[in-house]
Structure 1
């Protein structure tokens, strides 16, 4: 006697025995009548299209210059830092943490822009500003960097009033 196998079991065993296909093999699939595949792609918005447009920038070959054409001069940068700190912090009479956070960003941005005007080619400029409240305590600030001691350098200045202290540092890191 022959045993009858239900068609549903045959279909299941046929599916399980086949190798699963990849999503990227849509062209190789045998599409049966009555079945369909749906795919979706979102068109970029107008703001995104501006990012993908060719800007017309010129690509330049490496110069392999090992020495900077103009050195980072600490003596020119320190007065900029000190005058910017005095300009923004001289009229503060109380320490308000909500105001100081934005003020330190503003000072760092202004110092960075003024130092960029000195035109130190091939130097990356990093400006860090620390502002704290004076409450009869000691504060020690330190930094550690991995850099080339012959070409990279920094300039720093500090400001102190009866209610707060501030320290700003500009690092000039040479790009080879």
Structure 2
């Protein structure tokens, strides 16, 4: 007695090649809109709070995840996002930050916002890189 076993391959989603090397104007990363999103997310998370070294790791993760989720919800097709969050204690000392990227200035861009109160500062930068 032999039983035939029919193997089925997992179905893969098929996409047609679009050959787009530039996003449409409507789908281009808009730094002004992204800055507003960053501002809202940071304000929701940090408004009314004082610096707490034990809570900072959680705040940083929440700000980064919420910012990235809202960017994805904006419908920027074929963009990859990198969100960088830095929170530090206000002690009257200076802080310098910088970044360098190798990207296409026609399609890729970034936005940043700064939050400060009497006890802490927060700098958030969101980078949108078009995926060819």
RMSD across aligned positions (CA): 1.6
Distance 1:157 1:55, change over 3 A: farther
Question: Structure 2 CA distance, aligned partners of 1:55 and 1:97?
Answer: 48
Pick one of 66, 77, 81 that aligns with 1:125: 81
Would the alpha carbon gap of residues 151 and 104 (structure 1) be closer, same or farther in structure 2, given more than 3 Å must change? same
Deviations 1:43-90 (A, max 9, x none): xxxxxxxxxx96533132532211113211111111110111111111
**Equivalent in the alignment of 2:4:** none
TM-score normalized with structure 2 length = 0.86
Question: Structure 1 residues 157 and 59, CA, compared in 2 at 3 Å: closer, same or farther?
Answer: same
CA offset digits 1:141-162 (Å, max 9, x no partner): 1111111111110011110000
Q: Does 1:62 align with 2:39?
A: no
Paired residue secondary structure (2:87): strand
Give the Cα–Cα distance (whole angstroms) in 2 for the partners of residues 123 and 89 of structure 1.
Answer: 28
For the pair shown, the structure with the greater C-alpha radius of gyration is 1
Greater share of helix: 1
Q: Paired residue for 1:159?
A: 115
> Bigger relative contact order, structure 1 or 2, given CA contacts below 8 A and separation 6+?
2
User: What is the number of equivalent residue pairs in this alignment?
Assistant: 123
Structure 1 runs of 4+ off > 4 angstroms? Answer: none
Q: Structure 1, unaligned stretches of length 5 or more?
A: 1-52
